[in-house]
Amino acid sequence: MYWYYKYTFWLIILIILIGVGNLAWRRFHPASGSPEDPVTVGTEVVLPFPVPDSVDDTPVVPPPATGADGGSDQVADPPDVAVAPSQPVTPPAVLSQAVERRLSTAEEQLAKQNLVGARILAHKVTETDGVVKYGAVWERAVAVISQANTALFNCDAPAPEKVSYKVREGDSLVRIAYRHKTTVGALQRLNRLDPTDSTIFAGNILYVYECDWWISVTKSKFRLLLMNGDELFKCYPACIGRQNRTPVGIFEVNNKVLHPPWKDIPYGHPENVLGTHWLGLKPIEGTDLRLIGYGIHGTWEPETIGTSASQGCIRLRNEDVAELFDLVPSGIRVVIKDDE
């Protein structure tokens, strides 16, 4: 009996050792892909740190599928398309600081009478991405441009658009103005000539403005923009027709009148609403030919500027329409639009 129990005891010990050994083997040598492996379904893994830039995240393209006949079922690759490199985006805060610095410098240069330099800086502000037309920053920059150009127009200081002309025998202000597509008033302002005396002498040097003038009116903004080609020269606040009476279209300045009558009411009469100057408009380039009788004129009611109060014409302050009258010759284009 003693031997039998001893044999049974060692058999049990052997079975235990085999079991322990098997568990240890499975623990340190797990079978890959065994049915007992846990499977995570629908769990998103969030890394606690960003993936380094050096990681190659190029997508892997699978080999083309092959049909039963050995031909490829893969759709042909599209042609290569050149992709422009992305441009760095300037954060709004950085952009506004840079614009503010440039605009402040322009205002400082204007105060120092560096008119051309101030104008150049202000134009760069208006052309900056993110600066909205008719927005606050744009308005400040345009104020610098307008003031600088007003000063340049009323003095003999040099500017790129000013060219010198030597008066010849037989010349007159009218002839010089016609030859250079400008006005007598512009010549008088530029050269500080007496507006009541048109006498000039051979050998005199005059400045002449050579510009590609045209006018843009935006009704919703109550603004008249005097343009020199693609470049803004000056912005004037305006009054437009009440009840949408100001027409849109393309027009031409076809007559200019100093101290204009209104209908049968003479200039200076309290009921004459045209102010000091009149620039008549004629429809052109497909604009309804029945749109006649409209114009740009002054007003005795400056408080109406910036509102819809006229009978259809475009009103400016008297001092503004007087300046515009001297700046632009007859024949220039005027584009009137509702909005932009």
Per CATH, domain 162-210 is 3.10.350.10: yes
Query: Is 123 among the catalytic positions?
Result: no
pLDDT at 64 over 70: no
Query: Is 239 among the catalytic positions?
Result: no
Q: H-type helices in the chain, by residue range? A: 2-28, 92-111, 115-126, 136-153, 173-179, 184-190, 318-327
Same fold, 162-210 and 213-337: no
Parse the chain into domains and list their residue ranges: 93-159, 162-210, 213-337
Q: Which one, of 221, 213, 222, 291, lies nearest residue 251 by Cα?
A: 291
Predicted confidence at residue 94, as pLDDT, reads 63
pTM of this prediction?
0.71
Bridging pattern class, strands 213-218 and 333-337: parallel
Residues in the chain: 340
pLDDT at 161 over 70: yes
pLDDT at 83 over 60: no
Q: Which of 211, 235, 239, 313 is catalytic?
A: 313
Q: Which one, of 182, 180, 193, lies nearest residue 154 by Cα?
A: 193
Q: Which has the minimum average pLDDT: 20-34, 84-98, 215-229, 292-306?
A: 20-34
| 199: helix, strand or coil | coil
Q: Which has the minimum average pLDDT: 15-29, 147-161, 257-271, 291-305?
A: 15-29
Position 210 confidence tier, pLDDT thresholds 50, 70, 90: confident
Query: Comparing 326 with 197, which gets the higher pLDDT?
Result: 326
The number of angstroms, rounded, from the C-alpha of 41 to the middle of its chain's C-alpha atoms is 52
Number of H helices, E strands in the chain: 7, 12
Q: Which of 180, 211, 239, 297 is catalytic?
A: 297
pLDDT tens-digit map of 34-63: 433 333 333 333 333 343 443 343 343 333
Assigned fold of 213-337: L,D-transpeptidase catalytic domain-like (2.40.440)
